[in-house]
């Protein structure tokens, strides 16, 4: 009987204190959930003790009606976005709550940012590794280049040609001929693969390509004043356009027969 009296007191408390609009009450979600649990318990007790709790049928019907209204209103409040369990009590996400949707999207974006940061870190590590490998290779090449020795190689060639020196105060102003001796020296690093600065046969081929047109011709056809100096300068300039960039012309020597010579 004491249990029945307790049920009567719960329902009368509900009737007397919650007859207004439930939305006017500033309840927390936890309070609302607690009240829902109590009302569910009352509903069960109503079904079991409906015959002995109330004095008349009208009072019973009013209590049941009020109970149903309160429960409906509470459930509506619980589903309202402002009272979302995720927002207020960090419970499970409510898919109908805009705040929860934003929170879920934010968490997803944070996860994506972490993934991007991880990818960027891996790319940076790979890039740094490639840089280190390239630096090591460059250092090895520099060391190898330092170990290589620069040397001077040379060849000799000759051609027969006539010339005269206009306005020269002597017999050289008349047409005459010489066997012209040419010496060429080239400087460069020794190639580790073949042990050469430059194949001497190639160097001689280059020099002959320059001087062969002079052979058995009058040099005045090419030079206004065909002296050893001018011929040596011409040979050097031509050879510099033929040689590879890692090779330099060291000296060019041109000699008239057994006489004088010029070195450039």
Convert the pLDDT of each residue in 159-195 to its tens digit.
999 999 998 998 999 999 999 999 999 999 888 788 8
- The stretch 49-71 carries a mean pLDDT of 53
- Residue-wise over 30-53: b if at least 16 C-beta within 10 A, else e? eebbebbeebeebeebbeeeeeeb
Is residue 51 very low, low, confident or very high in pLDDT (cuts 50, 70, 90)?
very low
Please check whether residue 246 is in contact with residue 188, taking contact to mean a CB–CB distance below 8 angstroms: yes
What pLDDT does 191 receive? 85
Percent of the chain with pLDDT over 90: 38
The CATH number of the domain holding residue 187 is 3.30.479.10
What pLDDT does 194 receive? 87
* 127 in a structural domain: yes
* 210 shares a domain with 136: no
Confidence check: pLDDT of 2 > 60: no
Between 3 and 171, the more confident residue is 171
Give the total number of structural domains in the chain. 3
Q: Give residue-wise pLDDT tens across range 67-91.
A: 555 555 555 555 553 444 444 444 3
What pLDDT does 193 receive? 83
* 142 shares a domain with 66: no
Confidence check: pLDDT of 152 > 90: yes
* 251 in a structural domain: yes
* 170 shares a domain with 247: yes
Q: Give residue-wise pLDDT tens across range 95-116.
A: 555 555 666 677 777 788 888 8
Q: Helix 29-53 to helix 57-79 angle, to the nearest 10 degrees?
A: 160
* 248 shares a domain with 189: yes
Q: Is 127 marked active-site?
A: no
CA distance 191 to 32: 91
* 203 in a structural domain: yes
CA distance 254 to 264: 9
What pLDDT does 62 receive? 57
Between 145 and 216, the more confident residue is 216
What pLDDT does 144 receive? 74
Between 20 and 154, the more confident residue is 154
* 91 in a structural domain: no
* 89 in a structural domain: no
CA dihedral 19, 21, 23, 25 (to 10 degrees): -50
- The stretch 13-18 carries a mean pLDDT of 50
- Owning domain of residue 229: 150-263
* 255 shares a domain with 155: yes
Nearest C-alpha neighbor of 215 from the set 158, 172, 134: 158
Q: Which of the residues 84, 87, 97, 256 is marked catalytic?
A: 256
Q: Is residue 246 left, alpha or beta, with left meaning phi > 0 and alpha meaning psi from -120 to 50?
A: alpha
Task: Round the average pLDDT of the chain to a whole number and report it.
Answer: 76
* 162 shares a domain with 243: yes
What pLDDT does 35 receive? 60
* 154 shares a domain with 142: no
Q: Give residue-wise pLDDT tens across range 234-261.
A: 999 999 999 998 899 999 999 999 889 9
Sign of CA dihedral 129, 134, 138, 143: positive
* 259 shares a domain with 155: yes
Q: Give residue-wise pLDDT tens across range 196-233.
A: 999 999 999 999 999 999 999 999 999 999 999 999 99
What pLDDT does 17 receive? 53
* 102 shares a domain with 24: no
Q: Which of the residues 172, 185, 217, 229 is marked catalytic?
A: 172
* 102 shares a domain with 61: no
* 66 in a structural domain: yes
* 175 shares a domain with 154: yes
What pLDDT does 70 receive? 55
What pLDDT does 22 receive? 43
Q: Is 158 marked active-site?
A: no
What pLDDT does 107 receive? 75
CA distance 226 to 231: 7
Between 49 and 140, the more confident residue is 140
* 103 in a structural domain: yes
* 49 in a structural domain: yes
* 202 shares a domain with 134: no
């Amino acid at each position: 009987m004491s249990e029945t009296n307790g049920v009567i007191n719960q329902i009368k408390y509900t009737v007397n204190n919650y007859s207004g609009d439930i939305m006017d009450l500033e309840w927390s979600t936890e309070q609302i959930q607690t009240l829902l649990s109590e009302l569910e318990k009352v509903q069960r007790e109503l079904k079991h003790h409906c015959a002995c709790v109330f004095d008349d049928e009208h009072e019973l019907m009013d209590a049941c009606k009020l109970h149903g209204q309160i429960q409906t209103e509470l459930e509506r409040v619980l589903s309202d976005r402002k009272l979302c369990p995720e927002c207020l009590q960090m419970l499970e996400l409510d898919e109908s709550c805009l705040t929860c949707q934003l929170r879920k999207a934010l968490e997803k974006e944070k996860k994506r940012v972490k993934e991007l940061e991880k990818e960027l870190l891996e790319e940076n590590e790979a890039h740094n590794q490639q840089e280190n490998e390239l630096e090591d290779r460059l250092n090895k090449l520099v060391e190898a280049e330092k170990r290589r020795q620069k040397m001077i190689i040379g060849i000799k060639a000759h051609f027969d040609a006539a010339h005269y020196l206009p306005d020269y105060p002597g017999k050289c102003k008349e047409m005459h001929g010489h066997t012209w001796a040419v010496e060429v020296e080239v400087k460069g690093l020794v190639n580790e693969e073949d042990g050469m600065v430059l194949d001497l046969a190639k160097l001689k081929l280059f020099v002959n390509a320059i001087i062969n047109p002079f052979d058995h011709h009058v040099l005045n056809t090419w030079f206004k004043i065909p002296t050893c100096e001018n011929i040596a300068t011409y040979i050097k300039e031509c050879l510099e356009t033929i040689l590879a960039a890692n090779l330099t012309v060291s000296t060019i020597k041109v000699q008239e027969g057994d006489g004088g010579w010029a070195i450039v």
